[in-house]
Amino acid sequence: MGQTNWQTSSVALGIMRMEALSVEQAAQSIQTAVDAGINFIDSADIYGMGNSEITFGQALKQTNISRDQLYIQSKGGIVTDPKRSHGSFVFGQRYDFSKQHLIDAVDGILSRMQLDYLDSFLLHRPDPLMEIDEIAAAFDDLQASGKVRHFGVSNFNPEQFKMVQAGISQKLLINQLQLSIAHTGMIDFGMHTNMADDRSLNHDGSVLEFSRRMGTTIQAWSPFQYGMFEGTFINSPKYQALNESLAQLADKYHTSKNAIAVAWILRLPANMQVVLGTMTPQHIIDSANGADIELTKQEWYDVYFAAGNDLP
């Protein structure tokens, strides 16, 4: 994880949708993930308006899994808008990286999840009003108190990342970013350099190359999604060619299309980790199998082409 000796599974379980499960169902999802080799849990204080973390904390106690077997991460900094939020769909009314808000956010997370500490805590989305000295003071207090061991960010571009890193004493190990076969902007830009087509637009500040150079772990969220929350490309008629390509490789490697989609992300020669959003036990098992598959370079490109991408 990052440039440390902190070893975690290359596939993580995200619990955004855990609020919709019973405690018993959630316990089954957690146990299934651990049995499939996943030891990393990703959350955020806004997921299910906090209910996902409450369910997780209760469910973990129903399993045979000890706290020390897991690396548990959460995110904070978004102030929710209760009027527009419902179920798994949560909307913010502002971002807040003040010292007090970040400390209160972690305290709330620990209380809901019934934990003594987080292995990592991320700033959820970049705030144009963030004051770096406030973030630094919060991180120092959280680390000194033993409430948080490591830190990172989510959805930050390189300049935002560097600005925060320059003002804090801790190493930012993680940047959580949207990436899937159907969401490849950070890859497309690098190949379309010095061109005038749409794929040549630099939307992310060369975040893939920056992260590789810094040794930052990229946690890929929504690994099966297209758009923001439009749906999954797995078995979607909008992505017929892609599904045919995934199916062919799934047959070759005796696995599922989900596993190939995970393997495609992990094949990037960067410090990659895939965050699953599914709560369905069989989908967790199928997807986790992708960690054991190394696609050839041509297979990686074949999947990339099947998603509608090209080479310049």
Distance CA 258, CA 107 (A): 35
At 13 the pLDDT is 98
Q: Residue 154 carries which side chain, given as an amino acid letter? A: S
- Domain of 153, CATH number, reads 3.20.20.100
**In the predicted model, is pLDDT for residue 95 greater than 70?**
yes
Residue 281 CA to residue 165 CA, distance in Å, equals 38
Res. 93: pLDDT tops 90: no
Q: Do the domain assignments include residue 258?
A: yes
Please report whether residue 2 resides in a domain: no
Q: Which pairing describes strands 231-232 and 225-226: parallel, antiparallel, or unpaired?
A: antiparallel
Per cent of the chain over pLDDT 70 is 98
Residues near 294 by Cβ (< 8 Å), separated by ≥ 6?
263, 267
Task: Say if strands 71-76 and 78-80 run parallel, antiparallel, or are unpaired.
Answer: unpaired
Summarize the confidence of residues 232-253 as an average pLDDT. 97
Q: Is the confidence at residue 215, as pLDDT, over 70?
A: yes
**Full domain range(s) for residue 189:** 11-306
At residue 92, does pLDDT exceed 80?
no
The winner for highest mean pLDDT among 70-84, 90-104, 125-139 is 125-139
**312 within domain boundaries:** no
pLDDT of residue 91: 76
**What is the overall mean pLDDT for the chain?**
95
311 located within any domain: no
Has residue 81 got a pLDDT over 80? no
- Examine residue 151 and state whether it is found in any structural domain, yes or no: yes
Segment 32-75, tens digit of pLDDT: 999 999 999 999 999 999 999 999 999 999 999 999 999 999 99
Diameter of the chain measured on Cα atoms: 56
Say if 121 falls within a structural domain: yes
Asked whether residue 202 is assigned to any structural domain, the reply reads: yes
pTM equals: 0.94
Determine the distance from the C-alpha atom of residue 132 to the mean position of all C-alpha atoms in its chain, rounded to a whole number. 23
Instruction: Tell me the pLDDT band of 279, cut-offs 50, 70 and 90.
Output: very high
In a domain, 1, yes or no: no
Q: Residue 221's pLDDT is what?
A: 96
Q: What confidence score (pLDDT) does residue 88 get?
A: 66
Amino acid code (one letter) for 25: Q
Residues of the chain with pLDDT > 90, as a percent, come to 85
Six-digit token pair at 118? 């987080």
Would you place residue 85 in the very low, low, confident or very high pLDDT band (cuts 50, 70, 90)?
A: low
At 41, the amino acid letter reads I
Does position 86 have pLDDT exceeding 70, yes or no?
no
* Number of folded domains that form the chain: 1
